[in-house]
Structures are given as C-alpha cells and as structure tokens.
C-alpha cells in the first residue's frame, strides 16, 4: 500500500491485482526487447521484460471529503476475460485494512466506464447489485455516460451490473468533464481512450498531483506517447492528449499517479534528452544539437 501527501491531501493506493499478461494485447509495441533497453522502466516490467499493469483504486482524503477514484474490477461479475470472470478477490478487505469504511466514503469518481474502473461501484447482496459505497455521490462525466448508453460492451454487462444500479439507487451525478469536486479536487478532460475520459487534478498548499486514468496505461507511453493502446476508442486523439499532458506537466513539479502503474506508481514528468533522438520521426523539425528536449520524456520517481 502506497501513500502520497499533497499539502493537506492524502492519497492512498488500494491494489486489487497486478498482471503481466495483458501487455501484449494492450500495448503490442511494448516488446520485451524495447522495454529492457530503457533502464528507468525496470520497476514497471517483469523479469522477462513484459509490462506490468496494476489494478488499483486511489482514495483521496481532503480536509472535508473522502473520495475513491476508480473502483477496479469487482467480484461475482460475468466477464469475458477469464481471470476477471466471477472473481472472488479480497479488495474490500484490503480497503478496510487500509483504514477505510465503505459507508464513510462520500464521493466516487470514475475516470471512465471501462470494466476495470467501475467494478466495485456495486457488490452482490441477496442476488441484487447494490452500491458498495451507499452514502457516496458517484460522479460520471456526462459525455462518458452518453457514449456508453449506446456503445457495445466488450467484457460483459458492465454498465448493467456496475453503473445502472447506481442510477437506480439515486446516487449517480452527471457532471462536466472539468467539474470542480471540492476545493482541492477537479476533473480534467483527457479524451481519446474514451470520449468522456477524465483525469483527476489535486491541488493543496501549492502542491499538485494528477491521477491519469487510462490516458496513460503504462510508463512506456511517457517515453513513447505515440503508442496508443488497443483499448483506445480513438487512438489519434489519445496520442494527442498524451502529448499535451506531457508537455504541460513536464514544466512544473506535479506528481503524476498512474492508474495502472505498478509500484512505485507515481513520479514526475521530466525531459529525457537521451530518449529524444530515438523518438524523432523523419518529418520532425530538428534544431541545434539534433533534438529538442521537449520531444522526449521519462518518469522521475
């Protein structure tokens, strides 16, 4: 369990599971040979060079509110991916062992409505799906909900078992993609992975952090922002969003917390002079010493 302090705000990671099996499907560009050639990626790959992904929730404690960002995969749910089908994990036990009680969560934020971000929105009780956090407002971006009301689902009845019951219970709140949640927490639109995808920006006492959501799945996409995942609804838009994000947050001290980054999970975006030449395309305008610092990035953790 990892924790970070941003001014008066504490952010705690609650891990559901980690996996190295999804990488070849999700980011086929991230071959073991490429990953092992980049020294700073070592914590984020396994011994064979395959990328590691973490499924975790992030609890944000502000002076006035306690929020959960993304609720992982969930138990007892019919899913087409075998490892996630009818799972019986100990996420809630880990959640409570970290000092949190579902009834005391007042806000749930879902960066988007994919299967591994909404699962613990609900749990199965007496054959019915009920809100896991019964006293919370569940915030969903309006554009995201509009998309998923008609979009075909790949992994199973995710909307039916993990989103619609929240609306039925009267706990769902549709908000703008830049919604100010409280004094310290604001949504930030980062479309491309899904049309209404958002990241979460935290500010307190002059310190900042950003929770990425799936705008970036793995730190290798910091070195290669053009590597869009197979799960991105619009790969061109997702790459553009990453470019803008990296350029923006490399210019100041902002802690970037990856929603799927394995431990150490968080770090700072900095210019990677050594990586720039590798990332230049034939059509890139090059000045001076042969590359521009802003064209390459790494995670400094």
Q: What is the pLDDT of residues 32-51, one digit of tens each?
A: 999 999 999 999 999 999 99
In which band, very low, low, confident or very high, does the pLDDT at 275 lie, cut at 50, 70 and 90?
Answer: low
- Token readout for 12 is 């705690």
Over the Cα atoms of the chain, what is R_g?
19
Q: Using CA atoms, how far apart are residues 99 and 92, in angstroms rounded to an integer?
A: 11
Q: Using the predicted structure, report yes or no on whether residue 278 has a pLDDT greater than 70.
A: no
CB atoms within 10 A of CB 82: 7
> How many percent of the chain have pLDDT more than 70?
92
Q: Does residue 296 lie within any of the structural domains?
A: no
Q: Does residue 301 lie within any of the structural domains?
A: no
Q: Does residue 300 lie within any of the structural domains?
A: no
Residue 251 confidence (pLDDT): 86
Average pLDDT over every residue of 74-82? 97
CB atoms within 10 A of CB 92: 17
CB atoms within 10 A of CB 256: 26
In which band, very low, low, confident or very high, does the pLDDT at 11 lie, cut at 50, 70 and 90?
Answer: very high
Alpha-carbon separation of residue 212 from 35, 217, 220, 230, 260 (angstroms): 21, 8, 14, 17, 9
Q: What is the pTM of this model?
A: 0.93
Q: Does residue 279 lie within any of the structural domains?
A: no
Alpha-carbon separation of residue 181 from 61, 188, 254 (angstroms): 13, 11, 19
CATH of the domain at 161: 3.60.15.10
Question: Residue-wise over 166-190: b if at least 16 C-beta within 10 A, else e?
Answer: beeeebbbbbebebebbebbbbbbb
Q: Does residue 195 lie within any of the structural domains?
A: yes
Domain that includes residue 11, residue range: 3-270
- Mean predicted lDDT score pLDDT of the chain: 93
Number of domains in the chain: 1
pLDDT tens digits for 132-146? 999 999 999 999 999
In three-state secondary structure terms, 222 is helix
Q: Does residue 284 lie within any of the structural domains?
A: no
Q: Does residue 286 lie within any of the structural domains?
A: no
Q: Using the predicted structure, report yes or no on whether residue 157 has a pLDDT greater than 90.
A: yes
Q: Does residue 210 lie within any of the structural domains?
A: yes
Alpha-carbon dihedral sign for residues 156, 134, 169, 129: positive
84: CB partners within 8 A, 6+ apart: 73, 77, 115, 116, 155
Q: Using CA atoms, how far apart are residues 158 and 86, in angstroms rounded to an integer?
A: 13
Average pLDDT over every residue of 148-161? 94
Backbone φ and ψ for 180, nearest 5 degrees, come out as: -85, 110
């Amino acid at each position: 369990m990892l924790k970070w302090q941003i001014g008066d705000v504490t952010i705690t990671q609650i891990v559901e599971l980690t996996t190295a099996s999804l990488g070849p499907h999700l980011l086929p560009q991230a071959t073991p040979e490429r990953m092992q050639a980049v020294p700073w990626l070592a914590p984020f790959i396994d011994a064979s060079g395959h990328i590691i992904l973490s499924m975790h929730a992030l609890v944000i404690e502000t002076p006035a509110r306690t929020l959960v960002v993304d609720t992982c995969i969930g138990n007892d749910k019919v899913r087409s991916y075998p490892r996630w089908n009818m799972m019986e994990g100990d996420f809630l036990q880990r959640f409570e062992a970290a000092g949190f009680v579902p009834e005391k969560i007042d806000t749930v934020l879902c960066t988007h409505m994919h299967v591994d971000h909404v699962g613990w929105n609900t749990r199965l009780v007496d054959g019915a799906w009920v809100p896991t956090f019964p006293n919370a407002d569940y915030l969903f971006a309006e554009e995201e909900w509009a998309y998923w009301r008609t979009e075909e689902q790949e992994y199973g009845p995710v909307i039916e078992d993990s989103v619609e019951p929240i609306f039925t219970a009267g706990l769902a709140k549709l908000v703008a993609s830049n919604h100010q949640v409280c004094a310290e927490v604001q949504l930030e639109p980062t479309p491309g992975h899904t049309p209404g995808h958002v990241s979460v920006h935290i500010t307190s006492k002059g310190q900042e952090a950003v929770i990425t959501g799936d705008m970036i799945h793995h730190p290798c996409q910091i070195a290669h922002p053009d590597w869009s995942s197979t799960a991105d609804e619009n790969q061109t838009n997702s790459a553009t969003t990453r470019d803008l994000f990296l350029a923006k947050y490399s210019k100041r001290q902002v802690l970037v917390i990856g929603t799927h980054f394995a431990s150490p999970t968080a770090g700072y975006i900095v210019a990677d002079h050594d990586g720039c030449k590798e990332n230049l395309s034939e059509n890139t305008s090059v000045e001076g010493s042969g590359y521009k610092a802003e064209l390459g990035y790494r995670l400094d953790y």
